Amino acid sequence: MATRVNLDLHDELKAFGGKDLDLCYNCGTCTAVCSLADEGSAFPRRIMHLIQVGATERLKHSVEPWLCYYCGDCSAQCPRGANPGEAMMATRRHLISRYDWTGLSRRLYLSNAWNITAVLLVMLSVVGLFAFLHGPVVLDHVALNTFAPVHWIELGDLVMGGVLSFFLLTNAARMATWILGDVGMPAIPISAFVRAIPEFVVNFATQKRWRRCGTAQGEAKQNRRWLTHLILVSGYLTMFVLIVFFLKWFQTDAVYPIYNPQRWIGYYAAAALLYGTVVFAIGRWRKRDEIDKFSAGTDWMFLILLFLTTLTGLLVNFFRLAGWPLATYSVYVLHLAIDAAWLIVQVPFGKWSHFLYRPFALYLVKVRELAEKAAAADAEEAPAAA
């Protein structure tokens, strides 16, 4: 790997939020207190050092920023107030902007104006589409599937899912190429990629490593935070499954009885999303914990759009049950506009991408570990065969 020095790296990371990293004198206290760091991955100190010396290529190949969950233990103990936890967060934002080949992530992270404009553009496009393409407006009763035929919405979901997956997967492929292309990596057998898949699935669904850090600030508090996050994730995964696989059952003009799972599964997802977004927004507003002290525009946008998507979804349901056609149709369009803005702007380019990149990084660590084990086993067998 070429060792290039980028004298602007330091300033770049500051723009992404690592405002105090100048103060670091590399004492290593942060690594000593981080319960997720070990001998093989001495973060956050190593990352602080790479930033300070402008080692832009080495930073690009680093997996360590993704092993940090921003619990803030290191920042609380840093004798210089260099805020290494925030520097790790800033590094993740910087890395996301490098994985993203379109350049949009970079603009969204560095400019609130870009954030707001992108969201408004998507919303106006959805409203514009509905203005021209909606079905008949029935006013004597609620006929949502006449106004917005479910097969059209399904088709829109599929197209959007395909486009979003394309951006996410191509960005993730760049990440994998860089992390696995680090110096000294042995050749990777296909079996390593397959055997590491459970690592991705478990960490994506549970973020279980998060429970191991932040305990210096109180184990109960950390567990509460992890649980809130789990509830939020369960909410949008449930909603995702309902909308992608069961839309015909979920978006219906028939009113199911109160005990029908169609109602309760939807209400659970909505309650989980409202609870999670409100708790995290209050935390960011109060700024009492290290993790909440510094928020980028896209962090706020993520929470606000997710909250509004859920709220408008609930309102559509209540207006439908109340039998108010015009209110149902108009809030439904607003709901889809906000939802599309959240999906298109946040999922591949903004805050949400963390949820893919972090478990994916753990998957890549596992792949690397399995490849190293296979290489060591081959090396042991070679002299015996000779």
Classify 276 as helix, strand or coil.
helix
How many residues interact with ligand SF4 (rule CB under 6 A)?
Answer: 27
Q: Is the dihedral of CA 129, 133, 138, 144 positive or negative?
A: negative
Judged by CB, which is closer to ligand SF4: 54, or 161? 54
In single-letter form, the type of residue at position 335 comes to H
Q: Which of 25, 101, 245, 246 binds ligand SF4 (CB under 6 A)?
A: 25
Among 17, 84, 235, 350, binds ligand SF4 (CB under 6 A): 84
Q: How buried is residue 61: exposed, middle or buried, by Cβ count under 10 Å (0-12/13-18/19+)?
A: middle
Closer to ligand SF4 by Cβ: residue 122 or 291: 291
> Are 342 and 306 contacting, i.e. CB atoms less than 8 angstroms apart?
yes
Q: Per CB under 6 A, which of residues 31..50 are in contact with ligand SF4?
A: 34, 36, 43-45, 48
Name the one residue in this structure whose structure tokens are 């700024």: 287
Give dist(CA 273, CA 291) in Å, integer: 20
- Answer yes or no whether residue 80 interacts with ligand SF4 by CB under 6 A: yes
Residues numbered 202 to 221 that lie near ligand SF4 (CB under 6 A) are 213
- The three-point CA angle 269-272-276 to 5° equals 140
Q: Mark residues 173-192: x for contact with ligand SF4 by CB under 6 A, - for none.
A: --------------------
Closest C-alpha among 28, 24, 29 to residue 10: 24
Min dist CB 330 to ligand SF4, Å, is 44
Q: In 3-state terms, what secondary structure has residue 64?
A: helix
Cα-Cα-Cα-Cα torsion 292, 214, 171, 194, nearest 10 degrees, comes to -160
Smallest distance, ligand SF4 to C-beta of residue 16, A: 16
Question: Which 47-66 residues touch ligand SF4, going by CB under 6 A?
Answer: 48
The interface region with ligand SF4, picked from 76-84, 117-125, 200-208, 330-338 by CB under 6 A, is 76-84
Nearer to ligand SF4, 76 or 279 (CB): 76
Block residue for tokens 């999922």: 347
In the complex with ligand SF4, the residue whose CB is nearer, 33 or 127, is 33
Residue in the structure block whose two tokens are 């910087």 = 94
Select the span of 79-87, 104-112, 220-228, 277-285 touching ligand SF4 (CB under 6 A). 79-87
Q: Which of 13, 82, 118, 272 forms a contact with ligand SF4 (CB under 6 A)?
A: 82
Taking alpha carbons only, the member of 349, 298, 357 closest to residue 164 is: 349
71 near ligand SF4, judged by CB under 6 A:
yes
Using rule CB under 6 A, residue 85 touches ligand SF4 = yes
Residue type present at position 10: H
Which residue ranges make up the site for ligand SF4 (CB under 6 A)? Answer: 24-30, 34, 36, 43-45, 48, 68-74, 78, 80, 82, 84-85, 88, 213
